[in-house]
Amino acid sequence: MRAKTVALVLALAACSPAKPPPPPPVPEPSAAARQTFASCSWGEVKGATVSMWSYACGPEAGGISIVADDGLPGFLIESAATPDSTPTVVVRLFDKAADAPIESVLDAVRALSPGLNTPTCAFAPATGVDHEGKGHFVLTPTGAVKVAYDAKNSGDTMPEAPCGPLGVSPVGDRYFAVVPGHRDKVMFVDRGSEIQIFDEATLRIHDSP
């Protein structure tokens, strides 16, 4: 009798649906972001294959938010205050072979970033406390063009972006990096020149539905 009871319990257990895994914890925005966007709502923005956490701000706070764009794939930032303005790409993903170096996406990056010197621009380690030791790179001019750009950038003249919209600029913070946990993906991030509503550290890549 005991053997039959045990068998019945095991059979019922086998038929019972598995409990879904608990939802991942809500990531915490930085203290600076919490202070800057205190009147905005923090939430996850999802596309078909990507998701990222960001603030969404109402009209009283500029009406800015991000939207997923599966065609990039990546994310755009929009402003309800200026609905006719062109959305800015803040995150864009590039494909590469898992064992290939980050430089393998250079041709694709150059094609999307036309500039006066883009054909000779290359990746170089990004500098600054937010990039140190994190495997971040910038698209930057090389050779004599870099010397001339650095000289202008340190003077009173505002130089043009020599590597196009995805490259180095006198203002703003842009970088490229292999997506953590996805060696076959490289992300471009444009953090602008101020505290941003999104946190690219929360970027997740999902399977297509």
Tell me: pLDDT of 10 over 60: no
pLDDT digits (tens, 9 = 90+) for 167-182: 998 888 999 999 999 9
pLDDT at 2: 56
pLDDT digits (tens, 9 = 90+) for 73-129: 999 999 887 777 788 999 999 999 999 999 999 999 999 999 999 999 999 999 888
pLDDT at 62: 85
Rounded-to-10 torsion of CA 158, 160, 163, 167 = 50
Question: What percent of the chain clears pLDDT 90, i.e. is strictly above it?
Answer: 64
Nearest to 163 by CA among 207, 116, 195: 116
- The two beta strands, 41-46 and 50-56, are antiparallel
pLDDT band at 135 (very low <50, low <70, confident <90, very high): very high
Residues β-bridged to residue 89: 76
User: Could you tell me the CA-to-CA distances from 122 to 112, 128, 135, 167 in Å, in that order?
Assistant: 14, 19, 15, 9
pLDDT digits (tens, 9 = 90+) for 143-161: 998 888 888 877 667 678 8
Tell me: pLDDT of 12 over 50: no
pLDDT at 149: 85
Amino acid symbol at 68: A
Is residue 201 a contact partner of residue 179, using CB atoms and an 8 Å limit?
no
Question: φ and ψ at 112, to 5 degrees?
Answer: -95, 0
**Cβ neighbourhood burial of 88 (10 Å; 0-12, 13-18, 19+):** middle
pLDDT at 81: 72
Tell me the HSE value of 32 on the side-chain side, using a 13 A CA sphere: 6
Write down the mean pLDDT value for the chain. Answer: 88
pLDDT digits (tens, 9 = 90+) for 25-57: 888 999 999 999 999 999 999 999 999 999 999
User: Could you tell me the CA-to-CA distances from 209 to 48, 50, 152 in Å, in that order?
Assistant: 7, 11, 49
Listed by start position, the domains of the chain span 25-205
pLDDT at 82: 72
